[in-house]
Amino acid sequence: MWVDRPNMTFIAAGAASVLTFAGYLLSNADALAGPIVLQLNRVIEVIVMFVLAGVGHLYIKTRLNLQRSAWLKQGEVQIGLQMRGDRQRHPPLARAVCGRACRRAVQP
C-alpha cells in the first residue's frame, strides 16, 4: 500500500483479472473438474480481487487524508510559534496581522 494513487488498486485488480481469464483460456481443462467449476472458480477470484481493491482504495484514501491533516496541523503550529516568537524581530508583520484580524472581526 505504498502507492499514493488510490485508483491504482482497481487498475491492478483489472490487470490481474485479465491475466486470470487469459490463464483460463490458455490452460487445458482439468479432467476431474468440469469447465463450469473452473469458470466459477475464476469468477470468485475476480470478485475477491475487486473487493480487496476496494478495501485498498479506502485505506490509501484514508492514509492520504490523515497525512494531509497532520501536515496542516503542523503548519498551524509552526505559524503559531512563529507569530508568538517573532513579534520583537518583526513588528511590522505583527502589526499587519493584528490589523487584518481586527478589521475582519469588526466587519459584519
- Give the tens place of pLDDT for each residue, 85-102: 655 555 676 677 777 777
Q: Is pLDDT of 78 > 80?
A: yes
The pLDDT, as a whole number, for residue 85 is 66
Cα–Cα distance for residue pair 68/74, rounded to 1 Å: 10
- Say if CB 63 and CB 1 are below 8 A apart: yes
Instruction: Please name the residues in contact with 6: beta carbons below 8 A apart, sequence gap of 6 or more.
Output: 56, 57, 58, 60, 61, 64
The pLDDT, as a whole number, for residue 10 is 94
- % of the chain residues with pLDDT over 90: 38
Could you tell me the residue ranges of all domains in the chain?
Answer: 8-77
